Amino acid sequence: MFSKGREPVSALLLLFPMLVLLGGFIFLPLGQVFVWSLFQQEVFGGPQRFIGLANFAEMGSDRVFWQALVNNMIFAVLSIVLQVGMGLVLAALLDHGVRRFRVVYRTIIFAPIVVSTAAIGLLWGLMLDPNIGPITDWMSLFGVPMPRNGILGEPDLALVGTIFVGAWQYTGFMMVILLAGMQSIPEELYEAARMDGCKGIRAFINITLPSIRNVIVTCVLLTVIGAFKVFDLVYVLTNGGPGTATEVLASYIFRNAFEFSNIGYANAMSVVFLGIALIFGVIQHRMIRK
């Protein structure tokens, strides 16, 4: 055992490898992002020109930046409704509604989360393709008209379509977390409620929901953070289009850095993005402490 006086030194020694890794892979790049956001630069490794806060000022008048931010918010709200909402319903069904093959259902619903997002994007891109995708044919069988450009080619529907695909992937994950929360509720609570004549949906509203409040908050925060981080699904499924209809912050930052030769601006947006992420981080931290 270490003596009391040597403890800080030993602790520092033990922490040193992790501090080096954190410094090298988190704090150093973070500092670099801050510095580069003050410069104009065409390509990585190319000459830089100091322009102060001009990149931040540009964001104010950049229509696409604001649209991307709004799209992230829509993504977050609809994802909460679909992922957490559907996850809650499915978890409740598996917890109290379904009696047989529960594990089979749970596995099937959870399965999409283990598939890579890029593969899911490609798969749904083909499913929704207006020329060869089967969904157009299935819909026409039921007499449901599909837009000429397909869901992903229609500016008003493309974002919703992308959010739906995201929900298809993550609802199972939310369901498993919520189900774990529901299964930790003591059965005695339901028994007591039943004796008082409270069952079914009333029991769900009055017992289940309040008991898993913290789990729901965690799911909501995970979904919001996921919605603001979303990149791969949008990139593969719609490439931010049609037009800028499905552009999100991460894809717009990527595009500025690697397509528009606008590295300084991409860094400035990353700083703002970091600020948004920090706000959600603080909210999450406070909620958990509560």
Partner 1 sequence: MPAQSTGSLIKGLGALAVAAALSTAPVAAQELKVWELSSTSEGVNQNWDEVIAQFEEEHPGVTVKFETFDGESYKKGLAVALASNNGPDVFFNWGSEDSASVARNGLAADLTDMGEDRWLRHIGEGMLGPFSVNGRVYGVPTHSIAVYMYYDTAFYEEHGLEFPKNTDDMFKMCKTVREIDPDVAFTVLGNKDQWRGIHYVSMLTSQYVGPEAMLADMRLQAPEDELFTDPGYVKALELIARMENEGCFQSGVNATTADMSDVVFTTGGGTSDYCGTWCASSFDSQGMEGGYSIAPFPAISDAPEANQNYILGLTEGFQISAKSEHKELAADFVALLLTPEVQAQRLVKAARIPLNGENVSKYADQVHPTIQEVVADLPNYDGFAPILDVDLHGKLVDIYKRGIQDVIDGRTSPEDLMAQIHDEAVKIKASM
Which residues of the chain form contacts with partner 1 (CB under 8 A)?
40, 42-47, 128-132, 148-155, 238-244, 255, 258-262
Q: Are 264 and 51 in contact (CB under 8 A)?
A: yes
Least distance (Å) between residue 251 CB and partner 1: 11
Q: Is 121 exposed, middle or buried (0-12, 13-18, 19+ CB in 10 A)?
A: buried
Least distance (Å) between residue 158 CB and partner 1: 8
Least distance (Å) between residue 147 CB and partner 1: 8
Cβ closest to partner 1, residue 149 vs residue 214: 149
Cβ closest to partner 1, residue 47 vs residue 275: 47
What is d(CA 224, CA 240) in angstroms, rounded to the nearest whole number? 19
Least distance (Å) between residue 229 CB and partner 1: 20
* CA angle centred on 283, ends 277 and 287, rounded to 5°: 145
Cβ closest to partner 1, residue 94 vs residue 250: 250
What is d(CA 2, CA 234) in angstroms, rounded to the nearest whole number? 52
Cβ closest to partner 1, residue 147 vs residue 226: 147
Least distance (Å) between residue 271 CB and partner 1: 20
Cβ closest to partner 1, residue 42 vs residue 198: 42
Residues 38-56 as b or e (16 or more Cβ within 10 Å = b): bbbbeeeeeeeeebeeebe
Question: C-alpha distances in angstroms, 21 versus 7, 11, 102?
Answer: 22, 16, 43
Least distance (Å) between residue 116 CB and partner 1: 17
What is d(CA 213, CA 206) in angstroms, rounded to the nearest whole number? 11
Cβ closest to partner 1, residue 101 vs residue 258: 258
